[in-house]
């Protein structure tokens, strides 16, 4: 059965696409994308007024399975990803057990086979992500991990990080580091600065991140290992990465939507939904990240989707879990605040949220061209909607953006040529 999607505005300048185009798909493939495709008894979807782009790739997602299925499962997490406009996610290894050995990776791959979106495993750098002993990096590479990370934890011991980088580069794997000096961040629950003083909460200084960014850059330079900085959140980190890039160090970084949109001031009601690692930073940090976004200097956008149960996020700020559920709000927020306002265009978004993520993880990202896998979304740029966490596919309803009204929503996600998410007319349905 061939499906023809007509009259959409398609953005994918890498494949020479801007403006009105039709797209014809059959089974898993794009058969054609061009100005006008004649209807030859195809199933037709009229997408006039809508935008089609390749479905996004989120390289920083916590799926929580195995071990924390009350927070999220592979099923609910990938359904959330489909709803959010993603065709693929990379799953962080801080599960229980940690993804530090082949059996855990094999189980994830097996369970994710029939998910709404593709799942790429990330293996841990050290056993149980404890930072003490290296994981079996060679076996993990063979099992198909796309990168290594102890996310949730830093690798505090520089010697271990050095060896990890040496092994990782031998297997062509990128090290993704959660940069946090735990001696400096100890007991901290929000950004250290004016607001932590006013609110009487223990702060995490920017230096806790920046010291580790600097150390990792030095080790990446020494070992030649590709380094990716997870959830970069401070102006100082940004400057360190820019300087390192300028001298040829293989370093990339990601920024989350929440660090581009919120500051430490958001903690004012002591709502644990604003509690996240790294913490929401100062206005100066946020503004400089937005400047970098506009200047095309951000390598990757990623959610750091960190779902938690209601109870985990309940109670006193000091004791609540760190994390924000981001898969179902990322694209809507980015469109509303940055695309719709003209700060960035769709092609810039695709670079940060599709092409570069694909390159860093070594996964296919060919875009919308004849013969490519049919992974794309149909986005309605005019639709107004309100972020209602109770409607999330994710089990994690923990978002500081609840109640926000946005313009522009993903309405259809195609993965492997299959419609896996349909929200036309507010259906909010998953198929697979």
Ligand X SMILES: NC(=O)N[C@@H](CC(=O)O)C(=O)O
Pairing of strands 300-301, 251-255: parallel
| Residues 258, 39: Cα–Cα separation, whole Å | 43
Query: Which residue(s) pair with 120 in the sheet?
Result: 90
d(CA 197, CA 113) in angstroms, rounded, equals 48
Decide whether 5 or 276 has the Cβ nearer to ligand X. 276
When asked if residue 306 is in the footprint of ligand X (CB under 6 A), the reply is yes
- Contacts of residue 16, defined as CB under 8 A and 6 or more positions apart, other chains included, come to none
The answer to whether residue 305 forms part of the interface with Zn ion (CB under 5 A) is: no
DSSP string, 72-103: --HHHHHHHHHHHTEEEEEEPS-SSS-S-SHH
Q: Tell me whether residue 162 is annotated as binding.
A: no
Residue 115 or 153 having the CB closest to ligand X: 153
| Ranges of H-type helices in 176-232 | 182-185, 194-199, 206-223
Contact 408, 396 (CB under 8 A): no
65 belongs to the binding site for ligand X (CB under 6 A)? no
Query: Residue 322: which of ligand X, Zn ion, none does it interact with, CB under 5 to 8 A by kind?
Result: ligand X
Whose Cβ is closer to Zn ion: residue 178's or residue 275's? 178
Contact, 62 vs 396, CB < 8 A?
A: no
322 belongs to an annotated ligand binding site? yes
How many other C-beta atoms can be found within 10 angstroms of the C-beta atom of residue 142? 12
**Binding test (CB under 6 A) with ligand X, winner from 193, 323, 358, 400:** 323
Size of the site for ligand X (CB under 6 A): 11
Do the annotations mark residue 60 as ligand-binding? yes
Give yes or no for residue 279 binding ligand X (CB under 6 A): no
| Binding of residue 154 to ligand X (CB under 6 A) | no
- Omega before 373 cis (within 30°)? no
Per CB under 5 A, contacts with Zn ion among 103-162 are 151
Binding mask 5-44 toward ligand X (x if CB under 6 A, else -) reads: ----------------------------------------
Task: Pick from 277, 313, 395, 409 the residue near ligand X by CB under 6 A.
Answer: 277
Q: Does residue 178 interact with Zn ion by CB under 5 A?
A: yes
Element (H, E) at 23: strand 20-26
Shorter beta-carbon distance to ligand X: residue 6 or 62 = 62
Assess whether 304 carries a catalytic annotation.
yes
Q: Residue 380: which H helix or E strand, with range?
A: strand 376-386
Which residue's CB is nearer to ligand X, number 50 or number 62? 62
Given a contact cutoff of 8 angstroms between Cβ atoms, the answer to whether 299 and 254 are in contact is: yes
Q: Is 273 in the site for ligand X (CB under 6 A)?
A: no
- Annotated binding residues for substrate: 62-64, 94, 308, 322-323
Binding residues for ligand X, rule: CB under 6 A, are: 62, 94, 151-152, 178, 276-277, 304, 306, 322-323
Tell me the binding residues for Zn(2+).
60, 62, 151, 178, 231, 304
Could you list the active site residues?
304
Interface with Zn ion by CB under 5 A: which residues? 151, 178, 304
């Amino acid at each position: 059965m061939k499906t023809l999607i007509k009259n959409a505005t398609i953005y994918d300048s890498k494949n020479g696409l801007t403006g009105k185009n039709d797209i014809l798909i059959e089974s898993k493939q794009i058969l054609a994308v061009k100005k006008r495709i004649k209807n030859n008894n195809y199933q037709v979807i009229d997408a006039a007024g809508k935008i089609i782009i390749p479905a996004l790739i989120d390289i920083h997602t916590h799926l929580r399975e195995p071990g924390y299925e009350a927070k999220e499962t592979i099923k609910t997490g990938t359904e959330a990803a489909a709803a959010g406009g993603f065709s693929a996610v990379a799953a962080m290894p801080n599960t229980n057990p940690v993804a530090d050995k082949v059996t855990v990776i094999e189980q994830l791959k097996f369970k994710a086979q029939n998910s709404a979106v593709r799942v790429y495993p990330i293996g841990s750098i050290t056993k149980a992500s404890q930072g003490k002993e290296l994981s079996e990096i060679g076996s993990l590479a063979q099992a198909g991990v796309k990168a290594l990370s102890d996310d949730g934890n830093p690798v505090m011991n520089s010697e271990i990080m050095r060896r990890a980088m040496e092994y990782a580069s031998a297997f062509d794997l990128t090290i993704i580091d959660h940069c946090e000096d735990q001696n400096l961040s100890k007991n901290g629950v929000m950004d250290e600065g004016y607001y932590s003083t006013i609110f009487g909460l223990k702060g995490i200084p920017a230096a806790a991140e920046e010291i580790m960014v600097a150390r990792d850059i030095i080790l990446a330079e020494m070992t030649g290992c590709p380094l990716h900085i997870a959830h970069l959140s401070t102006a100082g980190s940004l400057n360190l990465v820019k300087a390192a890039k300028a001298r040829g160090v293989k370093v990339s970084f990601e920024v989350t939507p929440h660090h581009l949109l919120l500051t430490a001031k958001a903690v004012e009601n002591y709502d644990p939904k604003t509690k996240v690692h790294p913490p929401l930073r100062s206005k100066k940090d946020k503004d400089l990240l937005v400047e970098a976004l506009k200047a095309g200097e951000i390598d990757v956008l990623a959610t750091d989707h960190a779902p938690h149960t209601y109870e985990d996020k309940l109670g006193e700020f000091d004791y609540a879990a760190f994390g924000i559920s981001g898969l179902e709000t990322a694209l809507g927020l980015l469109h509303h605040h940055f695309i719709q306002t003209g700060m960035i265009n769709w092609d810039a978004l695709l670079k940060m949220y599709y092409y570069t993520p694909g390159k860093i993880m070594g996964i296919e990202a060919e875009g919308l061209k004849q013969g490519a896998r049919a992974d794309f979304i149909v986005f309605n740029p005019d639709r107004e909607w309100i972020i209602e966490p109770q409607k999330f596919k994710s089990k994690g309803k923990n978002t500081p953006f609840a109640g926000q009204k946005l313009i522009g929503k993903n309405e259809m996600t195609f993965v492997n040529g299959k419609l896996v998410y349909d929200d036309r007319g507010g259906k909010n349905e998953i198929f697979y």
